[in-house]
Amino acid sequence: MGMFEETMKIDDCRADVGASILILFIATILITGIVVTALTGTTNMFVNKAEKTGEESKEHVTTGINIISVSGKMTGDGISSFGILLEPVTGSGIITIDALVIRVGVDGRTPVFLRYNKTSDSCGDGFFNVSRWIRIEGDAADRADDPYIECGDMIEIGIDTTASASDFSPNTEITILLLLEEGFNARTEFRTPLTYVSSEYVELHG
């Protein structure tokens, strides 16, 4: 009888140990599943974020403007208007014109920053507009209300400098910088002619 009781105690003990191990094993599996799920979710989040960042970086790198030429209308002692012919670079994304900032720097003077205005191109008021939609799809009037250009388009930016024509006197160094909201900027530098003929247009760059 004593041996039987000892055997029963040993079996009970083994059963308790076996049940405990089984509980720990199940708990370990559950915790592992939770951890794996959490890690998978985190990994997917980082992958999605990396893909989005990659797409944004690619768009930033490929989006840009090419300045084809810059022309000006001369007065007796200065330039009364500028025309900047431009197009998106090959493979460029869409460029929003009303988010474009044009910086005009004249040697020895404070730079002027210009923003898009549908009806005004007054440099003195800080505006430029699109004077000509040369090569686009659709109606130019629609583009004026929602100004943008994409690969294949070509436009001319108009800037009226009549009020400050003498700032652009002969033999003056000028820097024009086109600052994009997304993408890489465009820059051109040139020096104005040594002499001006009033009311004539001159090619300043290109």
In angstroms, rounded to a whole number, what is the distance separating the alpha carbons of residues 123 and 163? 8
Same domain, 94 and 152: yes
pLDDT averages per 10-residue partition of the chain, 206 residues? 52 58 75 68 50 41 89 93 96 94 94 96 97 93 91 97 94 96 93 93 92
Rounded to 10 degrees, the C-alpha dihedral 134/177/116/159 comes to: -70
| Domain ranges, residue 4 | 1-62
The domain tally of the chain equals: 2
The CB density around residue 118, as the number of other CB atoms within 10 Å, is 13
Same domain, 46 and 101: no
- Please identify, among 62, 85, 114, the residue that sits at the C-terminal boundary of a domain: 62
Per-residue pLDDT, 153: 96
- Please identify, among 36, 62, 88, the residue that sits at the C-terminal boundary of a domain: 62
Per-residue pLDDT, 206: 83
Per-residue pLDDT, 21: 77
Same domain, 55 and 69: no
Same domain, 40 and 76: no
| SS3 call for 97 | helix
Single out the residue of 71, 54, 84, 7 nearest to residue 202, CA to CA: 71
| Residue 107's CATH number | 2.60.40.10
